[in-house]
Amino acid sequence: MSEERRVIHEITPLMGKDVLYIADRHKKEFTYPIHSHEVYELNFVERAKGVKRIVGDSSEVIGDYDLVLITSPDLEHVWEQHECTSDDIREVTIQFDFNMTNENIFGRNPFMSMRKMMIEAKKGLCFPLSAIMKVYTQLDTLSQIKDGFYAVMQFMTVLYELSKCEGARTLASSSFAKIVVEDDSRRILKVKNYISKNYMDEIRLSTLADMAGMSPSAFSRFFKLHTGRNLSEYIIDIRLGYASRMLVDTARSISEISFNCGFNNLSNFNRIFKKKKECSPSEFRENYHKTRVIV
């Protein structure tokens, strides 16, 4: 079998009218391959320092506590043993199927922060230690609750508390996760959509500034204020996201991918990729495929 596209699309235990699936387990190592699934997932890991967490094109080594929310059916993810030496890893996985649309109760004001969090979590959302400690007791006891109603209510409280915390950060890039760009500012949204459609070509500051009806210097300040990033950094991240997706999903050469993603030469692409991803494009491709082997 070819190594291409070996992500497992997991069939979860949620059936029919079920709302939650909770797996609370102790183990010595992570062995499950990279996968994706239709339902949402909140995954909590403790005593697993040194484990490598891969979510889309994000790869990080975790500490003693890790909590990640994923709400996209197409976002691949895996926790790999890597350098972890713990012989008592605990993992609590909660899979759930809530229809958080404006047409039901979740469309009402009390749930606004949760709906926003669910959108951000399409790229994978990692929570800081302060947030984990705030919901630790609820996560710790969730699997012990026998009454389904109270289990759902306790889990909803966990989600609500997480949605109100500060410091959560997205993991995968928008372009890798195939997420449609959303932004409060129409001018910024217009510019982001233009970049997303033209990332393979040269993108001039003057063109984007004209699009926003501003001078180049004013637009640069405006863009950073709204996105927290310099324009050049944003464009590079978008290009790297598309490049990472091509490395995973296609057999194209690295030089071809570099050219197709708007980098002016291969050595420049390799240098930027290694600086951002802490590995070369070929290593990224190889490591990603390694995690896809189904045993």
Q: How many CB atoms lie within 10 A of CB 247?
A: 22
Same domain, 233 and 208: yes
Smallest CA-to-CA distance from 224 within 208, 240, 239 is with 208
Identify the band that residue 14 occupies on the pLDDT scale cut at 50, 70 and 90. Answer: confident
Q: Hey, what are 134's tokens?
A: 């705030």
pLDDT at residue 295, rounded to an integer? 30
Q: Are 77 and 32 in contact (CB under 8 A)?
A: no
| Residue 2 is assigned to a structural domain of this protein | no
| Same domain, yes or no: 13 and 157 | yes
Residue 288, SS3 per DSSP: helix
In this structure, the answer to whether residues 201 and 86 fall within a common structural domain is no
Choose from 8-12, 36-40, 102-106, 178-182 the range with maximum mean pLDDT.
Answer: 36-40
Looking at the fold, whether 129 and 211 belong to one and the same domain comes out as: no
Residue 1 falls within a domain, yes or no? no
Is 276 among the domain residues? Answer: yes
Q: Domain range spanning residue 25? A: 8-172
Cβ-Cβ contacts under 8 Å for 146 (sequence gap 6 or more): none
Q: What is the pLDDT of residue 5?
A: 38
Per the structure, how many domains does the chain have? 2
Last residue of a domain, one of 139, 172, 205: 172
- The Cα 164–Cα 71 span in angstroms is 17
> Is 3's pLDDT higher than 50?
no
**What's the pLDDT at 166?**
94
SS3 109: helix
Do residue 156 and residue 37 come from a single domain?
Answer: yes
Average pLDDT over residues 125-129: 97
Give pLDDT, residue 10: 60
Q: Which residue has the higher pLDDT, 290 or 278?
A: 278
The answer to the question of residue 3 being in a domain is: no
> 194 and 131, same structural domain?
no
Does one domain contain both 191 and 154?
no
Query: Same structural domain for residues 67 and 206?
Result: no
CATH number at residue 50: 2.60.120.10
Q: Name the pTM for this structure.
A: 0.77
Same domain, 141 and 240: no
Task: Please tell me which residue, 262 or 6, carries the higher pLDDT value.
Answer: 262
Average pLDDT for residues 190-217, to the nearest whole number? 93
Q: pLDDT per residue over 28-62, tens digit each? A: 999 888 888 888 999 999 999 999 999 999 999 99
Return the higher-pLDDT residue of 259 and 37: 259
On whether both 168 and 235 belong to a single domain, the answer is no
CA distance to 130, 184, 198, 210, 228, per residue, from 219 (Å): 35, 16, 19, 9, 13
Tokens of 106: 């979740």
118 and 189, same domain (yes or no): no
Does residue 94 sit in the same domain as residue 216?
no
Give the whole-angstrom CA distance, residue 178 versus residue 174: 6
Token digits for 172?
Answer: 């995968």
